[in-house]
Structure 1
Amino acid sequence: MTDWLDARSATMEEVRDFAARRPFAILPVGSFEQHGPHLPLDTDNLIAGAMAIETAKRSTGLVLPVLNMGYAWVWQGKPGTLTFRFDTYMAMIRDMAESLDSWGIKAVFVLSGHGSNPQPIKHAIRELIHGKFGIKVLNSVYLGVKEMQAEADSPAWADDLHAEEIETSLMLAIEPSLVRMERAAPDYPLVPADYGRSELSMGHIMRSGVFGDPTRATADKGRRWLDLGAARSAELWLSYLKRQDLWDGPE
């Protein structure tokens, strides 16, 4: 008997039985947004979904469908990008928590493939969920990014990642048919002094939509980093469940 289940292919009875034994869920959240000339708009969703499955295999949980539009204010106005408002996204996370709580899930890991999502999620947990529902909520972008950056063959842009070596490598491992490597090119926009301290965002200073060097990406790196991100995320998840007195298995 496995400790994880993919909800997308499960029946109501299968979900019921799994939740009775392991009342835990992993909710992957992504974004539908620009990723330069070589990666699809669905990049963050595909990474979040794959990372959630691999995290569950190393820990436990009912893996839910990807919440495939996020808080992508930084890219608004860029063709193809869709975004919810901050308050709208908070309300959606609150509704997901209420739905899960209503049929017995005791803890959910909201695992993000998009760096801006944890901000409204954090406020939703504090303002809309805590003290109102019994469910516990863990919120994080997939872990291991610092280790990935240390292993990468190209420098990070402003200690961030977007359509560069890491995301491109992950996509080459997850959905290689969607990666247009012949269009990949490095791009390191200048970082103004007030970046991150004013309204200035990546969307304001982007040129190609790439922030780093995707040409150094490989599928081998992507597979290694998918394993790394899932392993680190699983460690956090099991540690959280144990701290909440919900997990009695090995970490």
Structure 2
Amino acid sequence: MFLAHLNWQEAESVLKAKDLVVIIPLGSTEQHGPLGPLGTDFIIPQHLAEQIEAKTKALVVPTMPFGVAAHHTDFPGTIDIGLEGLTCVMRGVVENLMKHGARRFLFLNGHGGNDPALDKVGLETFRAGGLCAQINWWSLAPALNSQWITGHGDAQEVAMIRAIDNSLIRDDSLIPTTVNHLSAELRNTHLNQVRFGNAAVKVIRDVRSTVNSGGFGGLESGLGTQEWGKEMLEAVVDYCVGFVEAFRQVDIEGAHRHV
């Protein structure tokens, strides 16, 4: 079911279901390396939600296309609504649906910068009698297959977009990646991660000061194939469908009981 397709009377009945799981797809509108479209982070969760909906009785709300993307704003087209902005929107979505009975929510997230806002809303929801789960698809994928290496605007995301709509990837936009490492000893392994000795340290910079193309951290963007994307997409959807069915059975009162 899609919330946007229901009238209010239908929504009233659906939201009263005791085992309802509400899926909230969200991401960001931001640069995604030389090949990834600006909508990568919300296009993928939206597509995943549509696939999950077809195999479950979950209720899918309209996708949130904006998120926390301050460190990407040096690239044209990026839209950042900030931590407070995303927190406010997600809180409003959950509170209004809880008012009419919903208790179980799944944030289907496409952007790591959104995590703090989702954590905050999740705790607030718990204290109000509900329960929020969060699945970040890009970190789930390597747990399902260690070869599906993750980064930002890299081959993993390009592969997923190719599987959804290959026309969104324009290969003639591929440019060589240049990384501005902090020093010979402190070399970036991700956008805000540098390697020192046997460990990683977070050093915050605007992304464009770290890497020229915006894509970095996994395999090179040009290595993302449609075949990889299709296999990954199917595996992620299957996992999420299984989770939704298990989440549906959770005893909400029991989850709030002190131990």
Q: TM-score range by the shorter chain?
A: 0.7 to 0.9
User: How far is 1:24 from its partner?
Assistant: 2.2
Distance 1:83-1:244 versus aligned 2 partners, 3 A rule: farther
Distance 1:58-1:187 versus aligned 2 partners, 3 A rule: farther
Counterparts of 2:201 and 2:81, CA distance in 1: 20
Distance 1:125-1:45 versus aligned 2 partners, 3 A rule: same
Corresponding letter in the other structure for 1:222: G
User: How far is 1:207 from its partner?
Assistant: 1.3
Equivalent position to 1:93, from 90, 97, 107:
90
- Which residue matches 1:11? 7
Contact 2:130 2:252 in 1 (8 A): no
Indicate the structure (1 or 2) with the bigger Cα radius of gyration: 2
Corresponding letter in the other structure for 1:112: N
The secondary structure found in structure 2 opposite 1:226 is: helix
Contact 2:178 2:213 in 1 (8 A): no
Over aligned residue pairs, what C-alpha RMSD do you find? Answer: 2.5
Deviations 1:153-196 (A, max 9, x none): xxx4xxx4222221111111112222112223563735134775
Distance 1:169-1:188 versus aligned 2 partners, 3 A rule: farther
Equivalent position to 1:165, from 155, 160, 171:
155
1:145 maps onto 2:145 in alignment = no
Equivalent position to 1:187, from 177, 181, 187:
177
Distance 1:188-1:27 versus aligned 2 partners, 3 A rule: farther
Counterparts of 1:196 and 1:55, CA distance in 2: 37
Distance 1:44-1:85 versus aligned 2 partners, 3 A rule: same
Deviations 1:182-231 (A, max 9, x none): 22356373513477523336454121112231222222221211111112
TM-score by length of 2: 0.79
Equivalent position to 1:208, from 208, 213, 216:
213
Larger mean CA deviation between 171-180 and 85-94 belongs to 85-94
User: How far is 1:29 from its partner?
Assistant: 0.7
Equivalent position to 2:37, from 36, 40, 52:
40
Gap runs ≥5 in structure 2: 182-187, 189-193, 254-259
Contact 1:110 1:138 in 2 (8 A): yes
Percent identity over the alignment is 21
Counterparts of 1:34 and 1:213, CA distance in 2: 16
Contact 2:33 2:154 in 1 (8 A): no
TM-score by length of 1: 0.81
- Which residue matches 1:175? 165
Counterparts of 2:43 and 2:74, CA distance in 1: 22
Number of residue pairs aligned between Structure 1 and Structure 2: 234
- Which residue matches 1:82? 79
Distance 1:79-1:174 versus aligned 2 partners, 3 A rule: same
Larger mean CA deviation between 76-85 and 29-38 belongs to 76-85
The secondary structure found in structure 1 opposite 2:25 is: strand
Counterparts of 1:150 and 1:205, CA distance in 2: 26
- Which residue matches 1:225? 232
User: How far is 1:148 from its partner?
Assistant: 6.3
- Which residue matches 1:27? 24
Alignment of 1:69-148 (within 5 A): 69-126=66-123, 128-131=124-127, 133-142=128-137, 144-147=140-143
User: How far is 1:80 from its partner?
Assistant: 1.0
Gap runs ≥5 in structure 1: 247-251
Counterparts of 2:251 and 2:203, CA distance in 1: 37
Deviations 1:12-48 (A, max 9, x none): 3333333344532100011000012322211111001
- Which residue matches 1:249? none
- Which residue matches 2:257? none
Counterparts of 1:206 and 1:244, CA distance in 2: 47
